[in-house]
Chains A and B, each alone.
Chain A
Amino acid sequence: MSAEGGVQYSKIAEIKGPLVVVDDVSNAAFDELVEIETNEGERRLGKVLEVGNGKAIVQVFEGTTGLSISGTNAKFVGKVMEMPVSREVLGRVFDGLGRPKDGLPDPIADQFIDINGEPMNPEQREYPKDFIQTGVSVIDGMITLVRGQKLPIFSGSGMSHNLVAAQIARQASVIGKQDDFAVVFAAIGVQYSEAEYFRRSLEESGALKRSVLFLNTADDPAIERIITPRVALTVAEYLAFELGMHVLVILTDMTNYAEALREISAAREEVPGRKGYPGYLYTDLSTIYERAGKLNGKKGSVTQVPILSMPSDDITHPIPDLTGYITEGQVVLGRDLFRQGVYPPVNILMSLSRLMKDGIGEGSTRADHGEVSNQVYDAYSRAQEVRALAGIVGKAGLTEIDLKYMDVGDAFEKEFLSQATDENRTIEETLGILWKIVSKLPKNEITKIKDKYIDQYYKEQ
């Protein structure tokens, strides 16, 4: 931060959507922070998107409603947008641009960090392999999250992704180690009631003191949503790499972020890509998702759980599609399970954690974890086939073993998948339930688990 910059320009050539075109600009820089002052003296923030030919295109974060060409001034601040960070940000609630929303003063900054972050040197990256316990059985047991991973939740409109997000934020912990753990929660374009739910939920569970909340509500200007994940990740990186904490970043809902990106792209008259999203959507998303990871020689880590609601539950939609290319697996919420009242309605057959194999097993969870999880995957998959068959031939047409698989499917959904929103299961409890389900099968059907584990944990029913 410096005292340089601060030239105010009064020639506004055009106001178009969220963009303001300023004329006769001589010294602006790409991404420079701009303060727009209205006729009434109100100040709004923006950033430079393009400069050249004496013009600067400024994207106004708080929207251009009420701005007029005459009387509006644009002050180029001389620096990019920065987030003041220190340990004091823990327990605080900010708006989508990183301004305090809890009635308390600005945090006393230890550092001012560019919100765009610095790309992680691939050579410096450390392979993620340490287990994070979320207390949600289906995630811990079958789609395990590891420190430094980026594991998105693909949901649909109206489904319970926000409940899952809040539960993970409340319960997530690093087991068996005394390392500091923190949660950075960025709500992007969520309803006021949802934002309040997140805040209350963390406050009441006592988890707020290790959390930082960034709340951009649905009625906040859409353009602010471009900034929200970036300020959240800036804070997360500081906590992780400067203070050595293990930070879980939850970003919900990334679909709203992509919509805001589309809005700006349309206002800039860029050539649209699939479904009107800009052609650089993949690149842009990667600048957010790739900020997760662990660095050699640094104690902390940044783990990301971005949540996105798929329009029309369409997994081929550009947002989940491009997200899936960048992230390391996905947790997919299923509409059918949701309609049946199952919480969390995770469709495990479409879900996957690519880094799970390195984060489980002896020394991190339990030696039998991988095998029992694979066996349950297999059994649930078979149960789904049997259910489909029963829909055609009826239950009477099924064999005894088919009926056992149907029982396994039901038990999986009722006992393992279903969980109360305030139920925090340990990994031991989770594995116990998995074994209870496996034990519903005859021993000769268990093909993916070593005999020594069967002898130890299998309890014939």
Chain B
Amino acid sequence: MASDSALEGTIDKILGQTESNILSGLDSALSESKQSLDDSVITLEQEYDQIISNGKKEADKIEKQIIGSSDIESRNKKLTTVEESIDKVFTKAIEEISNADRSGDYSNLIKSLLDESTKILGTTEITVFTNSKDKDVVQSTLSQYPGAELSSETIDCLGGVKVKSKDGAMTFDNTIDAKIERLKPLIRKDIATQFGVGN
């Protein structure tokens, strides 16, 4: 009997120790898992914030791309439309200039063009070229310029004159076409302003 009770006592002791070991193991596992959960909450929150912030950055980038390209596209369309309108204005103006009446003040214009040309070339020893429509007006004005002569060759232009020094070294294009070409950027600006573009 005595040995049975000693055995039972030992078994109880072992069971008790095992139970307390298991319980303490469970406790530490619980606290470890709690700790690990707490830690992972912080990491998770950091990662969550990182993902959100990256997502925001990416969204901002895409938004900028979309807005930027559509802004550019609409601006380009506006530029093309304005340019088409400017071209139409030029075409109409050129048509009107080419059909303009050659009488009255036109001879004064030719004279001022010849004055300007001879001044720039520094000589009146020149050959003058013009179109077939202006030949008579130019011929009648040339008498005022000693040494100047009208070429029998005509040039294709809206009006005005092209002068060449007699030695052939210098040429000055003072046709209406050349004047329009020289002033085109300024005229374009004026036309565009009429359409409400530019300053």
Contacts and interface: CB of A to CB of B under 8 A. Distances in A.
Interface of A: 1, 3-11, 23-24, 26-27, 73, 84, 86, 88, 91, 104-106, 108-110, 112, 203-209, 422, 424
B116 to A, nearest CB: 9
Which residue, of A106, A109, A206, has the highest number of chain B Cβ atoms within 10 A?
A206
A11 B80 contact: no
Interface in B67-83: 67-69, 71-72, 75-76, 79-80, 82-83
Nearest to A203: B69
The 9 closest A-B pairs by CB, nearest first: A206-B68, A206-B64, A105-B83, A206-B65, A8-B171, A108-B192, A108-B198, A209-B68, A24-B169
B197 A108 contact: yes
A84 B192 CA distance: 14
B185 A112 contact: yes
Interface residues of B, number: 38
A325 B88 CA distance: 54
Contacts of B65: 204-206
A2 to B, nearest CB: 8
A156 to B, nearest CB: 31
Given A84-B185, A104-B80, A205-B64, A3 B179 contact: yes
Contacts of A10: 168-171
Contact of B68 (A27, A105, A205, A422): A205
A110 B178 contact: no
B122 interface: yes
Contact of B72 (A1, A5, A9, A208): A208
B64 A88 contact: no
B183 to A, nearest CB: 6
Contact of B189 (A5, A26, A109): A109
Nearest to B174: A6
A11 B169 contact: yes
A24 B168 CA distance: 11
Nearest to A204: B65
A106 B168 CA distance: 35
A205 B120 CA distance: 52
Given A108-B189, A205-B61, A205-B64, A7 B69 contact: no
A86 B199 contact: yes
Interface of B: 57, 61, 64-69, 71-72, 75-76, 79-80, 82-83, 120-122, 168-174, 178-179, 182-183, 185-186, 188-189, 192, 197-199
Nearest to B195: A108
B92 to A, nearest CB: 18
B169 A106 contact: no
A91 B76 CA distance: 9
Contact of A9 (B69, B169, B198): B169
Contacts of B171: 7-10, 73
10 contacts: A7-B170, A7-B171, A9-B171, A27-B122, A88-B79, A105-B80, A106-B188, A108-B82, A203-B68, A208-B72
Contacts of B170: 7-10, 24
B195 to A, nearest CB: 9
A342 to B, nearest CB: 23
B182 to A, nearest CB: 5
Contacts of A424: 57
Which residue, of B64, B170, B173, has the highest number of chain A Cβ atoms within 10 A?
B170
Nearest to B173: A6
Given A104-B80, A108-B198, A7 B172 contact: yes
B61 A6 contact: no
Given A3-B182, A106-B185, A204-B65, A86 B172 contact: no
A14 to B, nearest CB: 16
A1 B185 contact: yes
Contacts of A3: 179, 182-183
Which residue, of B79, B82, B121, has the highest number of chain A Cβ atoms within 10 A?
B79
A112 B183 CA distance: 12
Given A24-B170, A108-B197, A208 B68 contact: yes
A110 B190 CA distance: 10
A1 B187 CA distance: 12
B165 to A, nearest CB: 9
A243 to B, nearest CB: 11
A447 B71 CA distance: 51
Contacts of A110: 189, 198-199
B163 to A, nearest CB: 10
B130 to A, nearest CB: 17
A339 to B, nearest CB: 30
Contact of B121 (A7, A84, A86, A109): A7
B68 A207 contact: yes
Nearest to B79: A104
Contacts of B198: 86, 88, 108-110
A86 B198 CA distance: 8
A208 to B, nearest CB: 6
B66 A206 contact: yes
Contacts of A208: 68-69, 72
A24 B121 CA distance: 12
Given A9-B169, A24-B170, A108-B82, A91 B72 contact: yes
Contacts of B66: 206
